[in-house]
Structure 1
Amino acid sequence: MVELKRKLGFWQAYATATGLVVAGSTMVSLGNGFGSIGPAFIVAAFIAMIISIIIALSYAELSSIMPGPGMIGDYTLVSMGRFMSIVTLLAGYLVLAATVGPMETMTASMAIEYLIPGVNTMFIAVAILVAFLVVNVLGVQIFGSVQLGIVLLLMLSTAVMGVLGLFDVLTVSTSIVPEFNPFGWSTVMQAIALGLWLFIGIEFVIPLGNEVKKPEKTIPKAMIFGLITIFIVDMLFGFALTRHLDLASLAGADTPQIVGAAAMFGDIGGILMAAITVLAATSSINANFAAVPRMFYGLARKGLLPNAFKYIHPKFRTPVFGIVFVFLLFTLPLFVLESNINVIMTLLSAASVTWFFSYIVAQIDVLILRKRYPEITRPFKAPFSPILQIIGIASCVYMM
């Protein structure tokens, strides 16, 4: 059987981990979060980051025990059996791919429409998906290089705009100082669920474990470093938005990140942020194309999915059937759903619930495997168990 090859280093793993998280939809939720809560949204986002680190530590332990690409399906197969493994994968990640893919593609096409008014958004959306289909079929090294370039450009651009906006450099508007917590701490605590969307999906680097060098060390570092840098970059830009646009306008805008950038830097700011939004959406799409087919590949090798999913192209060493399948999951909804903010937010809500479900199962997997196989070698071991897992489970239930 043709196997996957280890070609990805830390930075490619970091780009994969952050590439799905920093998505077009997170740019929207970041702006709406600061608009709805005020600058105190940083507190909700910080708590959400801590919760995400807790979840990432559990995933890191599980992946160090079973480093295969099946991820949550592999872990649940051992801890809870065949039926729950299939349910978790389909409920968690099949539904997820069918919602996140169209959502990010719509976000990208709407941002492109801002850049080119009147453009055929359906054509643009399908063209984006075809481009990343090709990139991912051609090989993991090409994927890693493309993903690393996109993520570094995305993070650097957003951070620079945030710093310039905070210090009123090159801005066209007069800065304001909004009240830090205008709506009360109960509202801040309710916003933790919105804050978690800024970090959700960091575990998508794990299915590439068979293609990452020294995965037991590289993957935990990539996830935790990714979460911390995402928090810093997002908060810089979010605070800058509140200094140049009133909170009500941020909260009510369909694309608050673009509206806010235009308020800070004029038309050039809006154009640049629209381009960044396209980068963010395409980064998420690219990461999905890489991760989800490898989950299907891992489960197909265990007989939990049809054999077609375990086919590896002999030349490119990529799970071609799974990549094409994900392409169809992303593409078909575009022909029956309208591209607007209401549809995007509905897809976001559906994706959140399925993601939290899979996170709960992962925490339970850690507890079961610690109890059932205490003697097994764990190259990475999550600290403070079972306290962290209990906190993780309770947090996900609260988010749902």
Structure 2
Amino acid sequence: MEKLKKKLGFWQAYATATGLVVSGSTMVTLASSMGLVGPAFIVSAFIAMIISIIIALSYAELASIIPGSGMVGDYTSVAMGKFMSIIAVLGGYFVLSVMVGAAETMTAGFAAQSLFPNINVTVVSLLLLTIFLVINVLGVEIFGSIQVVLTLGLMITLSVMGLFGLFDVFTATAQLPVDFTLNGWGTVFQSIALGIWLFIGIEFVAPMVEEVKNPSKNIPRAMIFGLLSIFVADMLFGLAIIRYIDPSILVGSSIPQIDGAGAMLGEKGATWMMIVTLFAAASSINSMFAAVPRMFYGMARDGLLPKQFSYLHPRFRTPMVSIIAVFLLFALPLFLLKMTPEMFNILILSACITWIISYMIAQLDVIILRKRYANIERPFKSPFYPYTQIIGILACVYLIITIHPETAVKMQIYGLAGSFFIGICIYAFLWLKFKKQPLFQPVALSEKRIMMDLEEDKEDYIPTRKAE
């Protein structure tokens, strides 16, 4: 089989990088955070963006020397061995499926309910998941062909609505006075983790390094421009809606972005934002259905998950078992948890903690591989090494420590994230022992590259791409 062709330019890479990030859950987080912190949340978000840029630069370097779909799993197996590889992938993306998948589908359900009050949110969520289950098993690429238009459309829409509100154009009510910091500067600096959620997932373009033209330039540019444009669009919208609605309504609502748009632009604004939320949630869910099963498939291929996860549908050549597993992980919390605004934030920030741990591992991967393979070619090198990585790691530690301003909520977040993390560690230890594989012995870089080349030559399955 021929290797993947480099046919994706900058804008396709940009759409892939931002396609998962611009989601329904980030819109909820943005609006509720503005209600909690006030306009000063722009400071929290700016610091979070700088941290995200530092992390993105490390992913760009790692992808340039170990290009492949396994992403952080491949990088970490070469740097720190298979135990840490399992931790990095499952900590970042298994927990993503369990917590964020449910939150994203419920966001779409609540958005639909805002237009049709009698609709059942759980039924809408399950219907949406079933649609994407079928799409991805069949290998049908619906969103991929319009991903650039969809992503840019969402970003422009948020920006335009924000500009309307800030300049009092087409608004339904007059602007209200609002303090820059609603709960003091301590809350601003304790809300950086909420800001991180606005940008988390930008690294999803890294597995596409083999299909992007001039990847050493286009991938880091796509991530950095994606982060900057997301910051601008989100802040324009967030700073606008906080001027037209009581902040407590944003904090206590399950659809604060729709409530804010409605207060600012009236019923048409609420309907407009409902449609935007549905599109954003759908795009994000489709992205996760395309990306996460491939990671599970790759781990099973490498012997890090049961081999059933590497099963390919005999006709459509898609990883059917992995896709079904992701569907079940998305759906299970819908029946076990009552999705309130408080529970939504707990799910999001619990996933944020394990994802941040995965980010810390990636920073360590860069440091280890720079020392161990100092002389290999690096088409892209993270600037100011090792200071950017050290700053990135310390920033991640700070984010975990200050994950939420309220101690009681923080303990709930720690408890949920800690339970998942301990479970993943136990699984990694027992599975590798059962398979009689070394826990911390790094895979040689040359061996990993040979394995990836052989797999590319033999593999019949080319996973669904968001931006093809």
Q: Which range, TM-score by smaller chain?
A: over 0.9
Correspondence 1:295 to 2:302: no
Distance in 2 (alpha carbons) for counterparts of 1:148 and 1:245:
32
- Kindly state the Cα deviation for residue 146 of structure 1 after the two structures are TM-superposed: 4.3
Deviates more, 1:355-364 or 1:219-228: 219-228
Q: Which residue of the partner structure matches residue 64 of structure 2? A: 64
Q: What root-mean-square deviation, in Å, do the aligned CA atoms of Structure 1 and Structure 2 show?
A: 2.3
Distance in 1 (alpha carbons) for counterparts of 2:289 and 2:380:
27
Letter matched to residue 285 of structure 2: I
Correspondence 1:271 to 2:262: no
| Kept in 2: contact 1:44–1:195 (CA 8 A) | yes
Q: Which residue of the partner structure matches residue 79 of structure 1? A: 79
Distance in 1 (alpha carbons) for counterparts of 2:382 and 2:89:
23
Q: Which residue of the partner structure matches residue 147 of structure 1? A: 147
| Kept in 1: contact 2:294–2:322 (CA 8 A) | yes
Letter matched to residue 72 of structure 2: I
Q: Which residue of the partner structure matches residue 385 of structure 1? A: 385
- Kindly state the Cα deviation for residue 5 of structure 1 after the two structures are TM-superposed: 5.9
Distance 1:299 1:140, change over 3 A: farther
Distance 1:340 1:360, change over 3 A: same
- Kindly state the Cα deviation for residue 151 of structure 1 after the two structures are TM-superposed: 1.9
Q: Deviations over 1:138-184 (max 9, x none)?
A: 44854422433432222222111111111111111011342323443
Deviates more, 1:64-73 or 1:265-274: 265-274
| Kept in 2: contact 1:103–1:344 (CA 8 A) | yes
Q: Deviations over 1:220-268 (max 9, x none)?
A: 2221111111000001001111221233333333322111111111112
| Kept in 1: contact 2:57–2:382 (CA 8 A) | yes
Distance 1:136 1:207, change over 3 A: farther
- Kindly state the Cα deviation for residue 125 of structure 1 after the two structures are TM-superposed: 1.0
Deviates more, 1:40-49 or 1:249-258: 249-258
Letter matched to residue 390 of structure 1: I
Letter matched to residue 217 of structure 2: K
Question: What is the SS of the residue equivalent to 1:243?
Answer: coil
Letter matched to residue 356 of structure 1: I
Letter matched to residue 90 of structure 1: L
Distance in 2 (alpha carbons) for counterparts of 1:57 and 1:386:
12
- Kindly state the Cα deviation for residue 82 of structure 1 after the two structures are TM-superposed: 1.4
Q: How many residue pairs were aligned?
A: 400
Question: What is the SS of the residue equivalent to 2:279?
Answer: helix
- Return the structure number with greater helix share: 1
Deviates more, 1:129-138 or 1:78-87: 129-138
Distance in 1 (alpha carbons) for counterparts of 2:217 and 2:134:
30
Q: Which residue of the partner structure matches residue 259 of structure 2? A: 259
Distance 1:23 1:348, change over 3 A: same
For residues 111-122 of structure 1, what are the structure 2 equivalents within 5 Å? 111-122=111-122
Q: Which residue of the partner structure matches residue 368 of structure 2? A: 368
Q: Deviations over 1:312-333 (max 9, x none)?
A: 5677564444323222221233
Distance 1:218 1:109, change over 3 A: same
| Kept in 2: contact 1:197–1:352 (CA 8 A) | yes
Rg (Cα) greater in structure? 2
Q: Which residue of the partner structure matches residue 190 of structure 1? A: 190
Deviates more, 1:213-222 or 1:60-69: 213-222
Q: Which residue of the partner structure matches residue 241 of structure 1? A: 241
Distance 1:384 1:26, change over 3 A: same
Correspondence 1:160 to 2:145: no
Q: Deviations over 1:283-337 (max 9, x none)?
A: 2211111221222233333332334444556775644443232222212332333
Distance in 1 (alpha carbons) for counterparts of 2:122 and 2:253:
23
Q: Deviations over 1:181-227 (max 9, x none)?
A: 34433222112111111111111222333444443333222211111
| Kept in 2: contact 1:135–1:143 (CA 8 A) | no
Distance 1:266 1:280, change over 3 A: same
Deviates more, 1:159-168 or 1:11-20: 11-20
Correspondence 1:50 to 2:50: yes
Distance 1:99 1:2, change over 3 A: farther
Structure 1 unaligned runs (5+)?
none
Percentage of identical aligned residues:
60
| Kept in 2: contact 1:204–1:287 (CA 8 A) | no
| Kept in 1: contact 2:158–2:237 (CA 8 A) | yes
Question: What is the SS of the residue equivalent to 2:68?
Answer: coil
Correspondence 1:34 to 2:34: yes
Distance in 2 (alpha carbons) for counterparts of 1:76 and 1:347:
26
Correspondence 1:327 to 2:327: yes
Letter matched to residue 358 of structure 1: S
Distance in 1 (alpha carbons) for counterparts of 2:159 and 2:50:
21
Distance in 1 (alpha carbons) for counterparts of 2:5 and 2:299:
18
Q: Deviations over 1:117-151 (max 9, x none)?
A: 11122221122112223333444854422433432
Deviates more, 1:249-258 or 1:188-197: 249-258
Correspondence 1:96 to 2:96: yes
Structure 2 unaligned runs (5+)?
401-468
| Kept in 2: contact 1:360–1:393 (CA 8 A) | yes
Distance 1:345 1:47, change over 3 A: same
TM-score by length of 2: 0.80
Question: What is the SS of the residue equivalent to 2:209?
Answer: helix
Distance in 2 (alpha carbons) for counterparts of 1:306 and 1:131:
26
Distance 1:140 1:228, change over 3 A: farther
